[in-house]
Copies of this chain bind each other. A is one copy, B any other.
């Protein structure tokens, strides 16, 4: 699927300017931390950019489960000595664009770490 190929390029090259190519305009982002969805492409880009800034070069996808409507990409990353294991759960519209981007992570230690790291990253990005 083209969207997934572009997605992997974006992540590999940390090319956050290209998120718009794969996200539908009404895309919704669901974080591992809070229940409330982040509505719209701009907010989704903000959160994905922050996440890409939090993860380092140890980030890698380890499993892909893909159908026409969904993709579940499992990843691992070591951040501050803590192993983060998570999934990106994408839902595609008929054009293959991402309409929902949901992230879950384990274990609890990693959820707490990302909570702190994402908060600090979003604050430093909005201060720029």
- CB within 8 Å of B: which residues of A? 30-35, 63, 65-67, 70-72, 74, 83, 85-87, 89, 102-109, 111-112, 115
Contact = CB atoms under 8 A, between A and B. Distances in A.
B65 A72 contact: yes
Contact of A33 (B33, B67, B87, B106): B106
Count the copies. 2
A107 B31 contact: yes
Given A65-B66, A65-B67, A87-B72, A106 B107 contact: no
B107 A89 contact: no
A74 B108 CA distance: 19
A35 B104 CA distance: 15
B70 A65 contact: yes
A85 B100 CA distance: 15
Contacts of A111: 108, 111
Contact of A35 (B87, B102, B107, B112): B107
